[in-house]
Structure 1
Amino acid sequence: MPAIPPADLEAARSATDCALAVTQAAAARLASGTDLDEHQVVAYDLAHAAAAVRTAQAALVYGASGPEEAALACVFVADALAELAGRVVGREEAWGVDPDWLAPARAFLATWRRPETLAALCGVEGDRHLDPDFELVRDTFRRFAEEQLAPRAEHIHRANADIPEEIIAGLAELGALGLSIPEEYGGFASGGEHDYLGMVVATEELSKASLGAGGSLITRPEILARALLAGGTEEQKRTWLPKLASGEVMPAVAVTEPDYGSDVARITTSATPVEGGFRINGVKTWCTFAARADVLMLLARTDPDRSKAHRGLSLFIVEKPRGDGKGFVFTQDPLAQGFSGGPGRMEGRPIDTLGYRGMHSYEIAFEDWFVPADHLIGGEAGLGRGFYLQMAGFENGRLQTAARALGVMQAAYEAAMAYAANRVVFGHPILDYQLTRAKLTRMAALIQMSRQLAYEVARLMAKGEGSLEASMAKAYVCRAAEWVTREAMQLHGGMGYAEEYPVSRYFVDARVLSIFEGADETLALKVVARRLVEQAAGG
């Protein structure tokens, strides 16, 4: 086996600085233009390149922990720089860089992209370097995942079954549904680093066993809880947050509409004032977990003047009965509900999906569905603030989605490693072959550095910072999960395409991660690139 070269973190740092200079030049070039949408290709690539650079910076910090960590950091930085080169070559003018921009890093690349170096590092994953408290969190959720989720995950996926109630109850008992809810409202959030980092660690371990029934399940209360904390009345917080933390009430989100996905400001579902509350009319789609949910966090237009865009939207807590995964139709009895008018109707149609099963997504049609006035989040002061409250709810969801991607990636990597060690081709386990070993090394480096980025973003968010970094992490890590699960599936050969092995589930589950919680293109163009350009312009 070839010797592993000594890691040179200073050379890796110089290479990272080289990449950073390229992204800064591109942001400055775009800032000098008039319309970012006229340069979407470069803006999109810039967003992902900047996210890779930010991950490389986290990798350099991690690399100082030991020789294995340093070697993985060098592998990651070299891969990130090579990927950046692929984005820039032939577009140097658009990026605002010299054609020889890569020259200072060529020696570093020649060492850390050598196939022999990558093959020699196969099996090195690196320690996570978590504090004991977070290791305890990890162990707790890993045990639950192994004992309760893993045995059920394949059945839920193949049968598109509902998530068993005992899983929901078990996670509630562990306190997993109250990780983002303050202690004063019945949750476990103390307002420090533990809240965010603990959520990342727990989410990864649960997602490793099952994306839908594990990691995504504990994120259900998150968006509504944070919207309530951002703008709910004190009575609303006291009423709803303890129920969310205990699992007594499970929520779903109803924001997207058939014609308006990321363009939330143009939604048309209306909430019309009537005696005692509002009548909801319209159609929402991609309402994940909506059948099982007890309430929907619904964004609706309370001001019919559509020129007001997002300023005319308000956020509601919409109560509903529980249904099952095959769809539902509910009606309201006006007399029983204590309001005047005809009966309200809510119909949910399930949307079949490639993966992410168990959660179930729905298109929901509302016809005169009555919502009491005290279910308008923020009360009278919440009128027209729905968009902002919803965004407050979504912000941390991006970091959580990165953590979900980590769990899926780790599961795929471990499956690929185990299969490669046992599968014999041409007289040798495929783990003996250079190509297999190089792929597995690149997977391990990508996973570990994505994890370290998520940890760093969690610490930033605990200090009230890191909004841009959370968006970068979501964009970058979710795309990484697609590559890792694809390669893990490929290493299984024909069996990777069969449902006999869970790696096919990891592959189809990973694909959704770049779509929800902010579609990749919208997140890259409208959030990450736009903010980078604003920074370059001095904003």
Structure 2
Amino acid sequence: MSLDTIPRTAYNEDHDAFRETVRRFMKEEVAPNADKWDEDKIVPKELWPKAGELGMLCPTVPEEYGGLGLDFGYNSIVNEEAAYYGGSPLGFSLQSDIVVNYLVQYGSEEQKQKWLPRLVSGETITAIAMTEPGIGSDLQSMQTTAKKDGNHYVLNGSKTYITNGQNADLVLVCAKTNPDAEKAWQGISIILVEADREGFERGRNLDKIGMDAADTSELFFNDVRVPMTNCLGEEGHGFIYLMSELPQERLSIAVSAQASAQKAFDLTVEFVKERKAFGKPVFNFQNTRFVLADLKTKLQVGWAHLDWAMNRHYEKKLTNEEGAAAKLWHTDLQWEIMDACLQLHGGAGYMNEYPIAKAWRAARVTRIFGGTNEIMKELIGRSL
């Protein structure tokens, strides 16, 4: 099976040519090393410049800052191919789909000139530090502060569950620059913190139940001094900036979820045609075919909806509620398909040596990160 066999409306011939390059990279550079990276609990930094050379990192960055100035479809192709052929979480989507947008939209000219070319080339790896121990993603309750001292901020606090935390050279840190603001969200700013700053420390590379190669860390800030020019955009506007970029972040999650669900389905169709029970292939049982028929139908609907959402995003019309709905539906679908496909593998599905087991474990977190699916329902419900 191949993603090429699925009719799509969100891509053109240029997208298709780019996909061939990305697929070759995933098959040659990523897939053969995926198991080792899982064991190491990290993807080597050397992979990033290789991806950068092929235009796979931050393809939407304007040309004047070293990018290709392309549309979000190119990001999506990287996400789809990584989910389908790569077999390893790479951390690219955090940089390309989330972090870089903050710099493009809200960074000063100096910040753009300094950082964007490095993000595009893979010379610099980024992370964004929002979540804190004990309060989860409730940004308004964050305890990390950035207090002014002359022409510097002094950061103190801790963050957790930070993707790319071990590899990151630059961290976008959400901190309170005005703890006394009338409304908590009004006092939040985003501060750029270079990883070589004194007082910045990486904690553990956290042990997860899935996505083993994705380094996920605790980060600590102990009197970390950074110049006030490292504030991204306007002081106190951080919460607004974060909320404005959520539709693309959640669409990105939906893209990867859909592609990984398709991969699980395709693997399972192949498996049940080979696995035998009571002297015949499992595929020959009506229940197997009915389950697969149901899943295939839902995947077909999923691809159509995903293209609708992507085309909306191209036109800058995708709303917060639509982005939330995409994240909710596609990650719920991903889990339904993963669980059904594992069941059809029988006992083999519970063995880590089979790809479905790894995919099943990795899928569990997608209903949590980017905002839990319960929060997605709340956001959608508020718009009714």
> Which band: TM-score by shorter chain?
over 0.9
User: What residue is the counterpart of 2:325 in the other structure?
Assistant: 472
Q: Taking structure 1 as reference, are residues 210 and 258 closer, same or farther at Cα in structure 2, changes over 3 Å only?
A: farther
2: CA distance, partners of 1:367 / 1:189 = 38
2: CA distance, partners of 1:138 / 1:441 = 28
CA deviation digits over 1:327-362, x for unaligned, max 9? xxxx72xxxxxxxxxxx2424222210011212211
Letter in 2 for 1:457: A
Q: Structure 2: which 5+ residue stretches go unaligned?
A: none
User: What residue is the counterpart of 1:508 in the other structure?
Assistant: 361
1: CA distance, partners of 2:134 / 2:107 = 29
Q: Is contact 2:124–2:169 with CA below 8 Å preserved after alignment?
A: yes
Q: Structure 1: which 5+ residue stretches go unaligned?
A: 1-124, 322-330, 333-343, 534-539
* 1:206 matched to 2:59: no
User: What residue is the counterpart of 2:21 in the other structure?
Assistant: 140
Residue number among 50, 65, 68 corresponding to 1:188 in the alignment? 68
Alignment of structure 1 residues 79-98 onto 2, 5 Å: none
* 1:229 matched to 2:104: yes
User: What residue is the counterpart of 1:450 in the other structure?
Assistant: 302
Q: Taking structure 1 as reference, are residues 141 and 395 closer, same or farther at Cα in structure 2, changes over 3 Å only?
A: same
* 1:354 matched to 2:209: yes
Structure number with greater Rg is: 1
* 1:403 matched to 2:250: no
* 1:441 matched to 2:317: no
Q: Is contact 1:223–1:390 with CA below 8 Å preserved after alignment?
A: no
Shift of 1:446: 1.9
Residue number among 35, 39, 51 corresponding to 1:154 in the alignment? 35
User: What residue is the counterpart of 2:192 in the other structure?
Assistant: 317
Residue number among 103, 128, 131 corresponding to 2:12 in the alignment? 131
CA deviation digits over 1:395-418, x for unaligned, max 9? 311111111112211221111011
Larger helix proportion of the pair: 1
Shift of 1:131: 3.1
* 1:197 matched to 2:50: no
CA deviation digits over 1:147-188, x for unaligned, max 9? 22221223323x143213343222111111122312221112
* 1:367 matched to 2:222: yes
Partner secondary structure for residue 273 of structure 1: strand
Partner secondary structure for residue 459 of structure 1: helix
Shift of 1:296: 0.6
Letter in 2 for 1:497: Y
2: CA distance, partners of 1:183 / 1:448 = 36
User: What residue is the counterpart of 1:5 in the other structure?
Assistant: none
User: What residue is the counterpart of 2:55 in the other structure?
Assistant: 175
Aligned length in residues: 378
1: CA distance, partners of 2:222 / 2:316 = 40
Instruction: Answer 1 or 2: higher relative contact order, Cα 8 Å, separation at least 6.
Output: 1
TM-score, length-scaled by structure 1: 0.67
Partner secondary structure for residue 298 of structure 1: strand
2: CA distance, partners of 1:154 / 1:244 = 26
Select between 181-190 and 262-271 the one with higher mean Cα deviation: 181-190
1: CA distance, partners of 2:18 / 2:322 = 24
Residue number among 273, 276, 293 corresponding to 2:148 in the alignment? 273
1: CA distance, partners of 2:312 / 2:276 = 46
Letter in 2 for 1:317: L
Letter in 2 for 1:256: T
1: CA distance, partners of 2:74 / 2:305 = 14
Shift of 1:283: 1.2
Identity of aligned pairs, percent?
31
